[in-house]
Chains A and B, each alone.
Chain A
């Protein structure tokens, strides 16, 4: 993992700076120039039957970061070092009859250490093939410290804590340092023939180290060797059987592999016997987390053996999903007044996770669990069917009727069959006691290596010693949406449309669960076999050796279904008052009779206005307004939302010598909704949550206003010199209720500033020198709370990029 030092990253020595400046000055002052060379770069070089244009830009980036480098890496992650900033090749056949290809384009950027690397290759030969390859690599570093942070308070202090101990968590427990590699490759054969063939392949790999956490006793930090892979293969054929009519068939295979496992290597503390132990990330002495008297003394720093803590943890999950898809589609305007398109697809695949394995070695104090082993298999189906149809009927020159229908149906029947062996002990210093049953148990459990024979030390909350579970779930959604519209072209300068959209969804789920549980002595009458009025509950039987077995009596399914109907009116009008001014207005007014979640709107309105005005060839004025309002304003929900944006943009361009672009956007987000919760610091006088004892009810309001301004100035004072100056500035203000007294507004009150400046200097024959400076500044309005005092997330970074571009 990276250095988490929050002070500074003085990324380069003064000597390096001087060298770079000297190099740049040398380049700027050296070679003579000729205007013709610029034109040569534009026209390329003819070689054989090809015109070739190539360029390569290489250089280096100097980076200085002050403040929280982890947040900088999360947001920007531009690091210091040499770079291949860009490389491109374009080859065009002079007579459009190349041997292998007529056109080739190959472009790249970001190689050498930038977080985003992209390569694209396109080749085509007229009437023979089109080949397109796109490779992208993304370095996804994520360590925004507030994410999944338990917000441990700095006070009260932990008694007897070891030297250097702080409960403040200054790295995200869900830190990620993964790389995503995306590859998309497609080949189209005989692109202009009546029958053409398509082949495609996509690969998506996401891998790297990551942190996660698990809730078992306390919240333990886990290390994950993250790896997921998706391979998608596609083969298709297009038939143009009739004039202006095309039929396509595609066969697609999609295979997902999930191989992410987890371990707990963070035994940073020790017991009195010297054994390393992990006490998790929830550290709150005032709330007895992870336990009362977490550290013993003397000697100072030993972990209380009554705590919840981990010696070891291991999880292996190997998920595989194989989903073949058949797709049939067609497009036609065979009938001159009718445009048709349709698509039908069916995906029916298998999903499974064979050999799931999870082992826990530690102790969960509430249940006295000392060792735990879970094994099982998950399996199921992934079924998705879609059918889409679209038609446009040009009734007259002015009137058109449009219809668009979308149907989708997915259903996921899934099942997880698992077994669990649990072993218990009195504390962390004692090993588990292993009971040898005389009766038949559903699975044979092998006890931990350090276990000793005896009667397990259960608590009243201890789970069963041996468990076998069968969990079966089913989720289905059936969706139909139809949008019918009438369009009227008022004149060549204006048009309008009016439509109606109805959408129906039926969401069904079902659940089936059965278990066989064996409770060993002592305290065998617990859990599902706890005595009720002195008698065993249904499903429990005594085994004769002091243990009891529970078998779910008459397991039943639990189906439910939600029906949601939405009706919406849509309206739009566009106008072109002058040849250089275009303006449009859209409205979408929706009402639903039900919602799936409390935050789904029962009514919504959306209005959009866009305007583009170019009064002269050197001036462009654009503006947009988007207003979205949503309501689920029913009893005990009281949800109101809006999201409003207002923006404009102006561009001045005087030939190629001077250009200014600036814009401003104001965004206003609001939400209110009634929530119920539990908090020992809830404001006095809150209403009780109706029907739920122990919860209070409060109107949760959230506001977020964001202002974004940008400016970009380009000036070319000399033929050889181009200067750029600009900035992207975002300021956010907002408010929200904070239920945790240690919570901070964080990014809700923040500024994100990115000014930049640069020079391009044409040095000489095909050479251009570039020097660019970029500033990245992030500032949160801090509070006096510990997460801000001890772990501020602000930074400011200067990046200087010096490069040479050679075009040939």
Chain B
């Protein structure tokens, strides 16, 4: 079998599987939605019970939780953006206040504060937690892929980064500032940003979330893209985006990380190698790109060619010169 036919077979199989699964699911899934009472649903997707009699309202919660589990607990909640849900007069009680997240509280209240009768985030799985949060926060590109994100797939939930009740950062209710929050798990990136040459993340100029979407995405490493769906690097390094008459094709095809270490490097310009000529020669060896063979001293590495970019200045692409001698 040729590579092309193997490729088509692989894509055909995966698409067929996805399509069949979707079709099998859609009709009965919708039907179940209407047939079953909300409380009896066994689906992983959390559905808010809509019976108003199950809810007690935030003021009732306040009677016990004014200072419990910590001092001014309810006051902090009143100051938080989530409190605005209590002011919504259009939606039902399942969207209001404490019970919008923790679920109906009637049984909890009638049980004298029985913790088993209310949803507590502390011991819930990441999926359960994310379903509660995404019930409201699923809007837009930002959160729409969280179900397939590397974070959720590794049991990292919303409340591992966000703290609705005790945020250190009021915006986004974050548990910690970036990048310290991210370094908590991604220790290897901490050392990269502490190399001599690095993007200014520790300095507060750039944030991890400028390049990565922590809530998931369609690109590798949960990378964001520019507004024109180009490599995210081009948002700041716009002069490298082109298009150029003479493209350095590896830039567009393999991406910036073919030559650069995006977080930080021991090498200037975040290059993968300490000697610029070796960055080039690792690809431009063995072919005529290494230099005209008839003039063996032309690119004599013993003289001035330590940095190919001294001459090939427009190495990311040029509109005027196929050797990248000028922009």
Contact = CB atoms under 8 A, between A and B. Distances in A.
B195 A741 contact: no
User: Most chain-B Cβ atoms within 10 A of its Cβ — which of A202, A401, A676?
Assistant: A676
Contact of B227 (A96, A234, A353): A234
Interface string A590-624: 00010011111000000000101000000000111
Interface in A729-772: 730, 732, 734, 736-743, 745-748, 750, 752, 754
B215 to A, nearest CB: 11
Contact of A740 (B134, B277, B293): B277
B171 interface: yes
Interface in B133-148: 134, 138-141, 144-145, 147-148
Nearest to B228: A347
B187 A323 contact: no
A299 to B, nearest CB: 28
Contact of B228 (A325, A579, A636, A734): A325
Contacts of B88: 127, 192
Contacts of B60: none
B45 A480 contact: no
Interface string A25-64: 0000000000000000000000000010000000000000
Interface stretch (B8-16, B62-70, B100-108, B112-120): B8-16
Interface residues of B, number: 135
Contacts of B83: 96
A83 interface: no
Interface in A537-596: 563, 565, 567, 572, 574, 576, 579, 582, 584, 586, 593, 596
B178 interface: no
User: Most chain-A Cβ atoms within 10 A of its Cβ — which of B17, B235, B245?
Assistant: B245
B254 A596 contact: yes
A150 B306 contact: yes
Contacts of B191: 645, 647, 665, 667, 706, 708, 730
B327 A260 contact: yes
Contacts of B148: 390, 392, 402, 404
Interface in A448-483: 471-473, 475, 477, 480, 482
B87 interface: yes
Given A667-B188, A745-B274, A739 B301 contact: yes
A747 B327 contact: no
A361 B242 CA distance: 29
Interface string A91-116: 01000110000110100011000011
Interface in B76-134: 79, 81, 83-84, 87-88, 123, 125, 127, 134
A752 B196 contact: yes
Contact of A384 (B228, B254, B309): B228
A289 interface: yes
Interface string B151-171: 001110000000000000011
Interface string B225-244: 11111100001101101111
B139 A331 contact: yes
Contact of A692 (B278, B293, B312): B293
Interface in B285-312: 285-288, 290-291, 293-294, 296-307, 309-312
A315 B269 CA distance: 25
A300 interface: no
Contacts of B22: 338, 391, 393
A572 B154 contact: yes
Interface residues of A, number: 208
A202 B197 CA distance: 27
A204 B234 CA distance: 11
A215 to B, nearest CB: 4
B7 A504 contact: yes
A149 interface: yes
A382 B293 contact: no
A333 interface: yes
A234 B41 CA distance: 41
Given A219-B304, A740-B303, A118 B205 contact: yes
User: Most chain-B Cβ atoms within 10 A of its Cβ — which of A97, A706, A710?
Assistant: A706
A394 interface: yes
Contact of A148 (B125, B171, B235, B276): B276
B310 A692 contact: no
Contacts of A754: 194
Contacts of A667: 188, 191-192
A673 interface: yes
A495 B155 contact: yes
18 contacts: A147-B276, A174-B309, A337-B44, A338-B29, A394-B43, A402-B148, A405-B18, A472-B245, A502-B14, A504-B11, A579-B123, A586-B150, A597-B258, A624-B186, A624-B188, A639-B282, A740-B306, A747-B268
Given A321-B242, A667-B192, A692-B288, 5 more contacts: A51-B79, A149-B307, A252-B227, A338-B22, A586-B154
Interface of B: 3-4, 6-7, 10-11, 14-15, 17-18, 21-22, 25-26, 29-30, 32-33, 41-45, 47, 79, 81, 83-84, 87-88, 123, 125, 127, 134, 138-141, 144-145, 147-148, 150, 153-155, 170-171, 183-188, 190-192, 194-197, 200, 203-205, 218-219, 225-230, 235-236, 238-239, 241-247, 249-250, 252-254, 258, 266-269, 272-278, 281-283, 285-288, 290-291, 293-294, 296-307, 309-313, 319-320, 322, 325-327
- 7 nearest A-B residue pairs (beta carbon): A694-B296, A215-B311, A708-B191, A412-B243, A647-B187, A739-B301, A645-B188
